């Protein structure tokens, strides 16, 4: 069975069949945007600046790695950032403060990864305003909030909007859900503060006007049973690796491994897949993303490794963001 991303890559018969539903989606989502633009609905300020990292497409575009980079960048400049996220894939109800030992099945794999990578306070909740208020109540030192995947959550007032686009998949066939991957029309990109185009492996940028480039590349790897043991990919044993991932754009992970000359067999699962011990051979040599690793720590084999992701933003974007933050 083909994933939706395959069907959304181009216009076909199914696109046309789904176009009435896409038109209905356009009316409903457009009415909501109009209500906030006209002031019929009022966004809620939470008392500290809010930076939103999101996208206008369904599926993985690289929001979470950019969120991790942004939190680390803010802290290096003396800020005390916190994060709110929906916690997609998690079963938590209400607002939950993410801890290092929180089950990913409860809080979601991406919020847990953000907390583990940055040590920043993270609160998950479908209602981002409630999540932001919980974050500030539990962590009164927070002076700036990063909203992961919050572009369409208009109720939370924001100061900066960053839209992330994957260079390899772009905007697909350009149709709205469910006929295509778009959550909002392409014109929405004109109203955000910055568009960041993620380039992974051998993919080239697609030339979105005014977009800043972010290069994502494979960094060091560490053993799931011993996270402190890190090695460059070139220093890993010459195994026939099993490369496993459950992310929105699995080919991006595989392309990065290929760029390092890693010999592997790929195995892709659905995004946010809840891995079970019986799905992966315990005695195999396995490479996976850090997002997958947080769900496999409890039953990892001896030779299971997570590959870190290095994020490099072009200097012009960093200068622009620094100037905006100071405002």
Give per-residue pLDDT as tens, 185-198: 999 999 999 999 99
The pLDDT confidence band at residue 205, using thresholds 50, 70 and 90, is low
Is residue 190 domain-shared with residue 232, that is, in the same domain?
A: no
Q: What's 139's domain CATH number?
A: 3.40.50
Same-domain check for residues 102 and 65: yes
Helices (H), 94-233: 104-107, 109-118, 128-138
User: What is the spatial distance between Cα 57 and Cα 246, in angstroms, rounded to a whole number?
Assistant: 18
Q: Say whether both 231 and 198 belong to one domain.
A: no
Please check whether residue 81 lies inside any domain of the structure: yes
Q: What is the pTM of this model?
A: 0.94
Note whether 149 and 262 are same-domain residues: no
CB 259 within 8 A of CB 253: no
Structure confidence at residue 3 as a pLDDT band (50, 70, 90): low
- What is the per-residue pLDDT across 114-129, written as a single tens digit (0 to 9) for each? 999 999 999 999 999 9
Q: Is residue 234 part of a domain?
A: yes
Do 274 and 181 lie in one domain? The reply is no
Check whether residue 152 and residue 286 sit in a common domain.
no
Q: How many domains does one find in the chain?
A: 2
d(CA 317, CA 262): 32
192 and 281 fall within a common domain: no
- For residue 1, tell me if it sits in a domain: no
**266 occurs within a structural domain:** yes
Contact 52, 161 (CB under 8 A): yes
Residue 128: closest CA among 146, 143, 144: 146
Domain that includes residue 293, residue range: 218-308
């Amino acid at each position: 069975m083909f994933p939706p991303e395959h069907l959304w890559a181009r216009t076909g018969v199914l696109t046309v069949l789904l176009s009435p539903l896409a038109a209905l989606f356009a009316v409903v989502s457009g009415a909501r945007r109009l209500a906030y633009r006209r002031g019929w609905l009022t966004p809620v300020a939470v008392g500290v600046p809010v930076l939103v990292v999101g996208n206008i497409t369904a599926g993985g575009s690289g929001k979470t790695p950019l969120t991790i980079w942004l939190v680390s960048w803010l802290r290096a400049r003396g800020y005390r950032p916190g994060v709110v996220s929906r916690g997609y894939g998690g079963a938590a109800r209400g607002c939950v403060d993410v801890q290092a030992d929180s089950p990913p099945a409860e809080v979601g794999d991406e919020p847990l990864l953000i907390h583990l990578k940055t040590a920043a306070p993270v609160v998950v909740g479908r209602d981002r305003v409630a999540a932001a208020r919980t974050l500030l109540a539990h962590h009164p030192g927070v002076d700036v909030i990063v909203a992961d995947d919050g572009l369409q959550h208009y109720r939370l007032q924001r100061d900066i909007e960053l839209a992330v686009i994957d260079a390899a998949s772009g905007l697909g066939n350009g149709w709205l859900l469910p006929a295509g991957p778009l959550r909002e029309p392409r014109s929405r990109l004109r109203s955000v503060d910055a568009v960041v185009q993620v380039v992974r492996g051998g993919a080239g940028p697609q030339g979105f006007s005014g977009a800043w480039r972010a290069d994502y590349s494979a960094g060091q790897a560490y053993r799931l049973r011993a996270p402190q043991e890190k090695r460059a990919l070139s220093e890993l044993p010459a195994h026939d690796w099993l490369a496993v991932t459950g992310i929105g754009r699995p080919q991006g992970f595989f392309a990065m491994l290929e760029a390092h000359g890693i010999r592997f067999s790929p195995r892709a699962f659905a995004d946010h897949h809840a891995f079970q011990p019986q799905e992966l051979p315990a005695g195999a040599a396995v490479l996976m993303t850090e997002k997958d690793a947080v769900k496999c720590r409890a039953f990892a084999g001896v030779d299971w490794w997570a590959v870190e992701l290095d994020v490099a933003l072009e200097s012009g974007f960093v200068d622009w963001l620094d100037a905006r933050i100071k405002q």
